[in-house]
Amino acid sequence: MKCFIILILITFSLSNAYGQKVQFKHVEPANWWVNMEHSKVEVMLHGDNIAKYAVKALGLEIVGIVKTENPNYLFLTLETKNEVPGTYPIQLFDGKKQVASYDFELKKRAVDSKMRRSFTPADMIYLLMPDRFSNGDPSNDQDASMIEKMDRKNPGGRHGGDIQGIINHLPYLKELGATAIWSTPLLCDNDTVFSYHTYGQSDIYKIDPRYGTNQDYQRLVKEAHALQLKIIMDVVPNHWGQTHWMMKDLPTYEWIHQFPGYGQTNYRMTTQIDPNAAAVDQKYCEEGWFVKSMPDINQSNPLALNYLIQNAIWWIEFAGIDGFRVDTYCYNNKEGIASWTKAITDEYPNFSITGEVWVHDQAQISYWQKDSPISKIQSYNSYLPMVMDFTLQDALTVAFNETEQKWDKGLYRIYDNLTMDFLYAEPNNTLIFAENHDTDRFNEYCPKLEDYKLLMTLLATMRGVPQLYAGSEIGMKGNKSLGDADIRKDFPGGWSTDSQNAFIEKGTKNVLSQEGRTDEQKAYFEITKLLFNWRKNKAVIHTGKTMQFIPEHNVYVYFRYNEAEKVMVVLNNSRSEEKIDLSRFSEIMGTVGEGKDVISGAKINLGQKTLAVPAKTSLILELK
């Protein structure tokens, strides 16, 4: 089993008077940092019957000791304010005899750690599943300490992708136009099957050894930063896996929600905000387990909540990451997850966190955003900076296949989604996407390149933070009805045995003599690359205002504008050429006579009465 220099599973012991050993099985967090807002760090000590011993922390003030009904735990709160970096032994005593010691280290923080940059509407986020992206280090494909072994022939098994595979292809992501990388979780998941998705974690202080080590994760962040790429960590405060080491020895019965034992969530997130909801329905939504193998953490328990807060802060400091994506955000205890989020953003004022709020109503999504005008009605604030725009995703799954607009079909669905922006405290702080690792692939239900171009035009120019799912940029398809494995296929070229390598250009031969992107894949890649590299430096898109016009004949026109610049976006989703009356847009266009199309590079005469737009075509016009 691979070990790391600072973490947990190292045993520290001294012999007591009877020749027996007192062991620290776990010390979490294993270290802390000086000059933190969260200066009172609560260290969890775990070992057989250690609660019966007296405890000291040499050089640090102990401001709290908590014992639970489980004698195998001690929760020791240390005051680190105004302390200096160094080693501070935590010692256990049986009477006057010292029986155990652990060197707790306070580290120096990185320069400007508190004010670290994070992802913003200026970014394009590339979502990948590490197990399915690239196998950069075959030596970690198997690990004796982990139950499930690599079996690439099994669609739902582990395929061997890892951190080194991500590092190897950072230049590819840079070329594509991505500026941030969201990887699905990389922490230990020791489930017997389907462990590759890593949402049922067995140790939240440790990278899964089949992905690499904690130090490999640090290196990923460093290598990404060298290319001006940001790293977003996927975190799961709502639940962990049945194989988490604590499940064999819970700190307290109330650490997880018990019914007793397993109770299934009803998945009805509306009960979290419904003023008329029955208490039993609220209970089973929030406290029920997501699935039988994922125990639900009780965030109303102060010990469990603080444990989660400190773990999140620990990873930010340890790895230097740039943001969080939070899984199943609205399944958490409302007050608990708000405290968790606020503690992190108090520690890092610029740190961005986006939450998965998978509901299908803008008011319900808005409820979970920081300073929401909706949640204020109930005097609630989640403090969550960013939410995922699932209602837009709903529209995108059908709009491009509706070539006749009718009253509420086609591109009107997208227009209608934006009419609800008044519900959000900050519409720009919405994550916009057409697909992710839990949904059908866009290229599955819209298999034509012309529809993909329309989609990329929209994602590259609309308000919010665009997110692309790995493989979309080469036309990968997947049907969720065939199982999750179909929407989570391996990226071609991520394995040395692959016959084709879509990470490289067609006609290029690498050392393994793999063919590069096909002509079709190249067409998908090039439009993605063009639009998102253009977007990188367009403040008018990142922070500008929006003016949209009701779609006519399935042609949707909107403008992004600020004091310095205007961009006109035209999407024709009909099967025929459509002529649009330019005088309709005079209130925003003024007397502009020309626009340069970002996609074709052509100059477009806007001084005429009408503009002909070919079928299934988009324009992005920089107005002059």
CA 386/CA 376 separation, integer angstroms: 17
Cα distances from 5 to residues 105, 206, 257, 360, in angstroms, run: 12, 11, 33, 45
Backbone angles phi, psi at 272, to 5 degrees: -70, -20
327 classed as catalytic: yes
Local structure of residue 322 (DSSP, 8 states): -
Separation CA 595–CA 399 (nearest Å): 27
Other Cβ atoms closer than 10 A to 577: 12
Alpha-carbon span 573 to 612, nearest angstrom? 13
Long-range contacts, stretch 599-607, CB < 8 angstroms, 24+ apart: 599/453, 599/457, 599/527, 599/530, 599/531, 606/582
How does strand 566-572 pair with strand 617-623? antiparallel
Closest CA to 127 of 203, 201, 182, 176: 182
Q: Are 368 and 330 in contact (CB under 8 A)?
A: yes
Is-contact 147 195, C-beta < 8 A?
A: yes
Give the residue ranges of DSSP H helices in 105-180: 130-133, 163-168, 170-176
β-strand partners of 97 = 94
Which one of 137, 191, 327, 426 is the catalytic residue?
327
Other C-beta atoms closer than 10 Å to the C-beta of 445 total 17
Q: How do beta strands 73-79 and 40-46 pair? A: antiparallel
Write down the residue that tokens 């031969």 correspond to: 509
What is each CA distance from 225 to 167, 211, 213, 229, 384, in whole angstroms?
A: 11, 20, 19, 5, 25
The angle subtended at Cα 454 by Cα 448 and Cα 455, nearest 5°, is: 90
Alpha-carbon distance of 482 to 349, in angstroms, equals 43
Residues linked to residue 570 through DSSP beta bridges, in sequence order: 557, 619
286: annotated active-site residue: no
* Gap between the Cα atoms of 618 and 462, Å rounded: 13
Kindly list the distances between the CA atom of residue 23 and the CA atoms of 8, 13, 27, 297, in Å, as whole numbers in the listed order: 12, 5, 10, 26
Catalytic residue among 191, 347, 356, 473: 356
- Residue pointed to by tokens 């909706």: 374
- What would the DSSP string read from start to end of 502-524? TTS-TT---TT--B---HHHHHH
**Cα maximum dimension of the chain:** 96
The closest alpha carbon to 289, from 227, 355, 241, 342, belongs to: 241
Sorted by sequence, the CB contacts under 8 Å of residue 559 that are 6+ apart come out as 546, 547, 548, 566, 567, 568, 569, 585, 588, 589
Tokens of 414: 């997208």
Catalytic residues: 327, 356
